[in-house]
Amino acid sequence: MSKYSIDEFINQTKQDERENEYFELETPRILEVNLLDQVWAKAGSMISYVGNIKFEREKVLEHGVGKMFKKAFTGEGSSLMKATGRGQLYLADQGKKITIFDLQNEAITVNGNDLLAFEPGIDWDIHLMKKVAGMLSGGLFNVTLNGTGKVAITSHYEPLTLLVEPGKPVITDPNATVAWSGHLKPEFRTDISYRTLLGRGSGESFQMEFSGEGFVIVQPFEEISSSGTQS
């Protein structure tokens, strides 16, 4: 058989039916969810499914008035959908690389644009960083997820994890910051002297500073928020 035949292409790229974890990386950029009940996923991330699965957009009061008023999931690119049923669900987001975390009574905070999917048993809350709403297009919001279960996040290209140690803070570009330890609380630094070299035309350059002990995940790409202008 030719290595370029259609049959060989199918053999090399077909789904692996032997794997049956709740979340599986079908490829580095496609997440397979072996759905038995329901899952929360980024709206618009479904690329295919097999089985009996129903999709619903997040309702205004789905998660309570408190989360609604945080205005986090207002943009098309950062709203949630609920998939319910049984079958294999395939998710992707603009060809970004996918990373799965199996939380064991742990917490992780994820940039809102980089959250792909999570199990319904995971507790989560939204945080809008109002201090930078005027600096970044659309501001910057993140989601803190905690508990036990799987979470899938995305990054442009290969992510890098930086360790935060006491007395050794880690400074990152907000647009390149993907996720961090759930207990870390970033502060924002503004350095006017670098404004001609850094930033996205905001008139100021600013960075996120992580202090304490934990980790920060960054990507080699500056991602602009898709959630629209926040106030």
The single-letter DSSP state of residue 193 is G
Instruction: Give the CA distances from residue 207 to residues 124, 151, 204, in Å, rounded to whole numbers and listed in that order.
Output: 25, 26, 10
Asked if the structure places residue 3 within a domain, the reply is no
| Model pLDDT for residues 132-169, shown as the tens digit of each residue | 555 555 457 788 999 999 999 999 999 999 999 999 99
Asked if the structure places residue 2 within a domain, the reply is no
Give the residue, 14 or 106, on which the prediction is more confident.
Answer: 106
Contact of 79 with 68, CB cutoff 8 Å: no
Residue in 142, 176, 143 with CA at minimum distance from that of residue 162: 176
Q: At a CB cut-off of 8 Å and minimum separation 6, what does 198 contact?
A: 173, 191, 205
Question: Which stretch of 73-82, 142-151, 181-190, 217-226 has the lowest confidence by average pLDDT?
Answer: 73-82
Asked if the structure places residue 7 within a domain, the reply is no
Stated as kind and residue range, the H or E segment containing 65 is helix 65-68
Q: How confident is the model at residue 69 (pLDDT cuts 50, 70, 90)?
A: very low
pTM of this prediction?
0.82
Q: Which domain holds residue 30?
A: 18-218
CATH number at residue 131: 3.60.160.10
Asked if the structure places residue 6 within a domain, the reply is no
Asked if the structure places residue 64 within a domain, the reply is yes
Asked if the structure places residue 231 within a domain, the reply is no
Quick one: pLDDT at residue 18? 65
Asked if the structure places residue 229 within a domain, the reply is no
Domain total for the chain?
A: 1
Quick one: pLDDT at residue 149? 95
| Model pLDDT for residues 179-193, shown as the tens digit of each residue | 999 999 898 887 655
| Model pLDDT for residues 45-62, shown as the tens digit of each residue | 999 999 999 999 866 545
Asked if the structure places residue 187 within a domain, the reply is yes
